[in-house]
Amino acid sequence: MSNPILQFGTSRFLQAHVDFFVAQNPAKALGKITVVQTTTSADSAARIDALRANGRYPVRIRGRQRDETIDVTLECDSITEALNANEDWPRLLERIERDVKVIVSNTADAGYAVFDEDTADLLDGQRTPRGFAAKLAVLLHARHQAGGDAITLLPCELVSRNGDTLRDLVLGIARGWNVDDAFIEYLTTRCVWVNSLVDRIVSEPILPVGAIAEPYALWAIERQAGMTLPCEHEDIVVTDDLAHYERLKLLLLNLGHTMLAEIWRKRDGAPDMTVLDAMHNPSYSDPVEAVWGDEVLPVFNALGQGDVASDYLASVRDRFENPFLVHRLADIARNQDEKKIRRFQPVIDMARELKLDIEQKQLREALKSA
């Protein structure tokens, strides 16, 4: 089997985003996908088992788009191989040496952790590294040793400058292992580390594998010389200004979700309360609208991006009021304190740097408990 796309992570997000894009446009894709489970999660193992047994899974797209109701289910057949990193490490080393052109990942925040137990002896390929960055260091070393071609890495984790961040982690691990200069040169010049931003609400799984998602989707990819994309798709945007897309998503959509979750947590809201429920409840929607209008949009206005931000915010409201998605505030509130710092502090910092005379009271109050 010769799959040119190697994917780390089995999340329902990837199923309804990257994998879905490839399935929708097979004629404009590099080829099929090998997906790798990197955790010991029972849910991930169940997805791997289901993919091995069937090789297809459903993605249901539900919502409103351009005044039209969308409710369609597509069968995705883009994944033709499913591996477990701990059990299939030798096979993975074999794949990386000759088949792979693009590596995609979404390993969540914990995926960028570095572990002391990941030491230089891993380069002999006899045991599986624990950390994702260490896994990449070993795999890319094997590719380099085998004379492998250039490779593009497209992390989808919601980390600012995710490609740069992942590159620096892998380089740090490699240097700590005292690898030769030729491998460091390979990592820095032959590997193309691409910063990107993903945006799609994937609210529910379809068990054992599959997902329910909104119609809106975006994969904003920072242009880099020599990069290879897994496919062409109308929702993929190659841009020279990735920061523009990051600001819109972080400070309007992500911030809005986290503010709703903050209100829900303070009010000890119902466990099954959804974003839609909150947007139809003035005790939730009014404070969020006030934050957007009084504490965030003035920053975009000062940047000369007020009209773009207002247009994007209109689409965010439509997405929050999607009647078909069960997007629970309890799910959004996971790692709430960390999310508040990452999503609220930047807009406060920007307002200070721009010398804006705005109080930003709700954002500041929320951060006090982070």
Same-domain status, 233 and 249: no
Residue segments in the chain with a per-residue pLDDT below the cut of 50: none
Predicted pLDDT at 322: 92
- Residue 208, both tokens: 């054992």
Report d(CA 275, CA 320) in Å as an integer.
6
Same-domain status, 358 and 340: yes
* Gyration radius of the chain's alpha carbons: 21
- Residue 221, both tokens: 């990819």
Same-domain status, 323 and 340: yes
Domain boundary among 204, 222, 239: 239
CATH number (domain holding residue 196): 3.40.50.720
Same-domain status, 186 and 151: yes
Nearest to 9 by CA among 73, 95, 83, 99: 83
Nearest to 88 by CA among 45, 149, 30: 45
Task: Quote the number of domains for the chain.
Answer: 2
- Judge contact between 157 and 197, C-beta under 8 A: no
SS3 369: coil
Same-domain status, 170 and 56: yes
Place of tokens 């993929």: 236
Measure CA of the first residue to CA of the last residue in the chain; give whole Å: 48
Same-domain status, 12 and 144: yes
Same-domain status, 85 and 210: yes
- Judge contact between 225 and 13, C-beta under 8 A: no
Specify the amino acid at residue 78: S
Domain boundary among 204, 239, 274: 239
> Would you give the DSSP letter of residue 294?
I
Report d(CA 164, CA 188) in Å as an integer.
11
Domain span holding position 138: 5-239
Q: Which residues pair with 196 in a beta bridge?
A: 221
How, if at all, do strands 68-76 and 57-65 pair?
Answer: antiparallel
Same-domain status, 29 and 140: yes
Taking the whole predicted model, whether its pTM rises above 0.75 is answered as yes
Predicted pLDDT at 337: 94
Letter string b/e over residues 42-60, b meaning 16 or more CB atoms within 10 A of that residue's CB: ebbbbbbebbeeeebbebb
Predicted pLDDT at 160: 85
Predicted pLDDT at 1: 53
Specify the amino acid at residue 74: L
Interacting residues of 59 by C-beta distance below 8 A, sequence separation 6+: 15, 16, 20, 73, 74, 76, 206, 210, 211, 212, 213
Report d(CA 17, CA 273) in Å as an integer.
25
Domain boundary among 181, 205, 239: 239
Report d(CA 275, CA 207) in Å as an integer.
22
CATH number (domain holding residue 341): 1.10.1040.10
Tell me the HSE value of 309 on the side-chain side, using a 13 A CA sphere: 20
How many other C-beta atoms are found inside a 10 Å radius of the C-beta of residue 41?
12
